[in-house]
A and B are shown apart, each in its own frame.
Chain A
Amino acid sequence: MSKLHVTTTINGEPTEFLCDARETMLDVLRDRLGLTGTKEGCGSGDCGACSITVDGRLVCACLMFGAEAEGSQIGTIEGLAEGEKLHPLQKRFIELAALQCGICTPGFLVAAKALLDRNKNPTETEVRYWLAGNLCRCTGYDKIIRAVMDVAAELRGATR
């Protein structure tokens, strides 16, 4: 079966890969590019563990074909920290114990960053609804929501 050749940018790095037409972006990231920080919880867009951004838009990598990445800017959890400096969300998630098992954490972080990129001052309700597509079975969401609200406040303070 002949493969498609895709040229894209992942976390700022020009990247090329070969994939089958039916292969999802999630499979490409995990199995072809070794970017296993993006997780698979359901494969049907119902859990958000595979959240990535495509040209700044939050999407589920399991609901996108690898071929569609052609010419796009892809963002994954591996691109969240800057060098050795964790993103404020990553830092606060650790400090507030906003993770227990950690499987949903990459998806939550990517989704939360996409929210804060758009809305610097979300209400608790807005955060909860924005993150409704990310399932967490461990935390009851409490500490996750607090961490995101905290970081939003912190970022507002920093840019003031």
Chain B
Amino acid sequence: MSSQHYKWIGTRPNRPDGADKVTGRARFGADFNMPGQLVGKVLRSPHAHARIKSIDTSKAEALHGVKAVVTAKDFPEQPNQIVPAGEMQANLRDVTRNVMAREKALYDGHAVAAVAATTSEIASEALALIKVDYEVLPHVIDVDDAMKDGAPILHDHLRTDGLTPPSDKPTNIAKRLEFVKGDIAAGLAKADVVIEREYKTAAVHQGYIEPHATLASATEDGQVQVWSTTQGHFQVRGFCSRLLNIETSQIRVTATEIGGGFGGKTVVYLEPVAIRLSQKSGKPVKMVMERSEVFRASGPTSGGTLRVKIGATRDGRIVAADTTIALQSGAFPGSPVGPACMCSFACYDIDNIKVIGFDVVSNRPKVAAYRAPGAPIAAWAVESTIDLVAEALRMDPIDLRLKNAARKGTKTHYGPTFNTIGMVETLEAAKNSPHYKTPVKPGHARGVAAGFWFNVGADSSAAAHVGEDGTVTVISGNPDIGGSRASLALMAAETLGVDYDKVRPVIADTSSIGFNFVTGGSRVTFATGLAVVNAVRDMIENLKGRAAKIWEVEPDAVIWENGYAKPASSNVGKFEPLSLAQLAAQAGKTGGPINGHAQLNAQGAGPGFGVHIVDLSVDRDTGIVTVERYTAAQDVGTAIHPSYVEGQLQGGVAQGVGWALNEEYIYDAKGRLQNAGFLDYRMPVASDLPMIETVLVEVPNPSHPYGVRGVGEVPIVPPMAAIGNAIARATEVRMLDLPMSPPRLSAALDAMAPKRAAE
């Protein structure tokens, strides 16, 4: 393995924040308080679609203990244009309307007003006193319905972007995308087997256990402090700055420990409201969502409708791949249909590809990123269809994929040509895994599927400081959502040549370190890791200069090795190596504090590939599926802290199992969410799952000094199709819609039964 020549990289030390997190000391979003703080609460629309004719807040304002009430009027109007906000692209017209409904409430749970009061009870009472005059409008939930002529229109100004010729008709289709490689018709003409199916997926929520929470304090001189559970405190700063017309330097955001995000905590819901309430009341305001609010008004990711057509020759070569993907974006444009389209066939080297995507608004909460946004939805349809091709050709599903696997030099249908990637290695590792080599047990069936995610680089800043005793503080700006402090400390220790426990990683607030893009896209260990390595290297240059000064030699006559400054060669002179501690002790005499800094826009995030194998059994009488054995193989680059890499794979699989079998947003006829709680939004519990075996395939990323690839997103991409493929082999029933819940699978099995009996 590539990590053998490293001292720290590839080891499994205790995480620096471990003791805090097992003792209850770690402070998450709802654990921050300030003296004199008020409690803020949000009034939410009970209607899926309604014009807000008026809002009367006078009774709430008159209630004793109520200190501020806000509605959309308290937030400045924003232009209808895409602008950078905290380095993300956002339409601020839509963001401000999602934070607080303006002309219309667009989904059940849409915020329409908020209050700050001295107690939670008074805040609740105040919400009940706010009178909203709604004109209920026809609504639309399903993406296919929303695309039909005559569907209720959410936004009168919306026109389909990407149509030729352009249309001037109001529509719910915000965007049409197209990616073409080769000639799809010519490819299909060559095919011996053509499989075409239509699939559906349900909207699913990220399901982080910690609800959104924030504490905001705006002072009379215009300064603002915010504590927020977020994947990106710089994003919180950026959005709040734009939405409230406050200069970024006046806003200081501290990221609290974060109780899960999975992409769902990269946007703002409460923070601008809490700041506004704090500004109006002159007091700190704390806001914490109820679980039902989390489901109704945050996240989720899209459900969608997909059609896939794949043609292959008899020898197993895929010659044509065609898909149309329509995704729900929720109440405002911006589904992950782009990445869904790009990831769809990225695992494969196919000459003729055509992908069309639609971004469709409907009366649902605005979708937020969720782990490899869009990719799992596309993979569900594509990998199910590829399994049908394997069945039709009577080929082993891994062999079929090997025959068509993308490799270095493969030109993708969305543009880039792959550098060093590990799709082939991952398929081979899956094929050679103990799991795949074990015959399927009687009563079980096996399914296989693959998945792809780009991984992300982007902006990071880091600093390294040496203390007077020679121990090191490494400062970065990405909330640690799953052990990244440990990974960063490992890379810093490796680079510096000191022990892991001599390095203390710290996550700074927005005023204490330069800009960092969100913790997301599987970028922190790669990009922020690179910034940390560069900051430490910068510090090493500084250290070498100090040694040179002490030895009275040129700086380039000094090298840094295993935590010591040493003469570059015997020609330099005979000097005892100087340790970090020795150099630190003399820092005052050699030029003052010893620090290092780095800032970068990381390029070359190596894409990741995963291949999953599942054995399961189906209770034919009830439609209940039991996952019996599961293996996730993945090209993970270099595994910096293998335990947390395994953990990413295992966690992604568990979320995928939920997505496959039970999780879904369920609406009633009035467009109201029916399962806004953990009881009926059924995420996997411990007894639903077996141990999840992992195979870490280490194909180092050439664009990172330690070969890091992001690992967090890929593992949620294959599970749904792997499970669907196994169910098909267990029952001969091919499920086309997610989730494959017991009532659905049972109905499909019953529909099959007469056919089977007749055969």
Interface residues of A (CB under 8 A from B): 30, 35-44, 46-47, 49, 76-78, 80-81, 86, 89-91, 93-97, 99-106, 109, 124-125, 127-129, 131-146
Contact = CB atoms under 8 A, between A and B. Distances in A.
B677 A44 contact: yes
B210 A100 contact: no
16 contacts: A39-B28, A40-B211, A41-B209, A43-B290, A86-B22, A94-B15, A94-B21, A100-B260, A101-B210, A101-B260, A104-B209, A104-B259, A137-B206, A138-B651, A142-B689, A146-B691
Contact of A138 (B28, B290, B647): B647
A146 B692 CA distance: 11
Nearest to B258: A101
A35 B291 CA distance: 21
A141 B654 contact: yes
Given A36-B31, A132-B685, A132-B686, A137 B22 contact: no
A61 to B, nearest CB: 12
A86 B23 contact: yes
A46 B207 CA distance: 13
Contact of A137 (B257, B260, B483, B677): B260
A141 B643 contact: no
A99 B679 contact: no
Interface string B149-168: 00000000000000000000
B24 A106 contact: yes
B209 A97 contact: no
Contacts of B643: 96-97, 143
B655 A137 contact: yes
Given A42-B677, A100-B482, A101-B259, 17 more contacts: A36-B31, A39-B28, A41-B259, A43-B290, A44-B677, A47-B291, A97-B12, A97-B646, A100-B651, A101-B261, A104-B259, A105-B22, A106-B22, A135-B683, A135-B685, A143-B643, A144-B686
B136 interface: no
Contacts of A109: 22
A143 B687 contact: no
B18 A94 contact: yes
A137 B258 contact: no
B291 A136 contact: no
B23 A90 contact: yes
Interface in B257-277: 257-262
Contacts of B208: 101, 103, 137
Contacts of A124: 691
B481 interface: yes
A85 B18 CA distance: 14
Contacts of B692: 140, 142
Interface string B667-694: 0000000000111000111110101100
A136 B209 contact: yes
B689 A137 contact: no
A97 B642 CA distance: 10
A142 B679 CA distance: 22
Interface string B629-671: 0000000000001011011101111110000000000000000
Contacts of A132: 685-687
Contacts of A41: 209-211, 259, 291, 678
B210 A103 contact: yes
Nearest to A106: B24
Given A42-B678, A81-B23, A93-B22, A101 B481 contact: yes
Given A100-B647, A103-B210, A37 B25 contact: yes
A129 B689 CA distance: 11
A35 B24 contact: yes
B30 interface: yes
A121 B650 CA distance: 25
Interface of B: 12, 14-15, 17-19, 21-28, 30-31, 206-211, 257-262, 288, 290-291, 481-483, 641, 643-644, 646-648, 650-655, 677-679, 683-687, 689, 691-692
Contacts, number: 184
Nearest to B645: A97
Nearest to A37: B24
Most chain A beta-carbon neighbours within 10 Å: one of B21, B25, B258, B654: B21
B689 A140 contact: yes
Given A46-B679, A139-B647, A78 B686 contact: no
Given A43-B291, A46-B677, A101-B259, A145 B31 contact: no
Contacts of B259: 39, 41, 101-104
Contacts of A76: 24
B651 A86 contact: no
Contacts of B644: 97, 100
B196 to A, nearest CB: 34
A100 B483 contact: yes
Most chain B beta-carbon neighbours within 10 Å: one of A81, A125, A143: A143
Given A135-B685, A139-B647, A142-B692, A39 B260 contact: no
A131 B686 CA distance: 6
Q: Which 3 residue pairs spanning A and B have beta carbons closest together? A: A37-B24, A103-B259, A140-B654
A109 B25 CA distance: 14
Contact of B687 (A77, A125, A136): A125
A105 B19 CA distance: 11
Contacts of A100: 260, 481-483, 644, 647-648, 651
B677 A143 contact: no
Contacts of A99: 18, 21-22
Nearest to B262: A137
A132 B687 CA distance: 6
A139 B208 CA distance: 12
Contact of B24 (A47, A78, A128): A78
Given A132-B686, A137-B655, A141-B689, A102 B21 contact: yes
Contacts of A137: 206-209, 260, 262, 651, 654-655, 683
Contacts of A106: 22, 24
Nearest to B32: A36
B15 A97 contact: yes
A44 B679 contact: yes
A72 B368 CA distance: 44
Contacts of A140: 647, 650-654, 689, 692
Given A81-B23, A140-B654, A39 B210 contact: yes
A128 B687 contact: yes
A37 B19 CA distance: 12
Contacts of A30: 30-31
Contacts of B17: 102
Contact of A142 (B257, B258, B650, B683): B650
Contacts of A43: 290-291
Most chain B beta-carbon neighbours within 10 Å: one of A89, A104, A136, A140: A140
Contacts of B15: 94, 97
A112 to B, nearest CB: 11
Contacts of A86: 19, 22-23
A60 to B, nearest CB: 12
Given A41-B291, A100-B482, A141-B689, A94 B678 contact: no
Contacts of B646: 97, 142-143
A17 B679 CA distance: 32
Nearest to B12: A97
A85 B207 CA distance: 33
Contacts of A128: 686-687, 689
B22 A90 contact: yes
B205 to A, nearest CB: 10
Contacts of B23: 37, 77-78, 80-81, 86, 90
A36 B641 CA distance: 29
Contacts of A95: 14
Nearest to A80: B23
B655 A134 contact: no
A136 B262 CA distance: 13
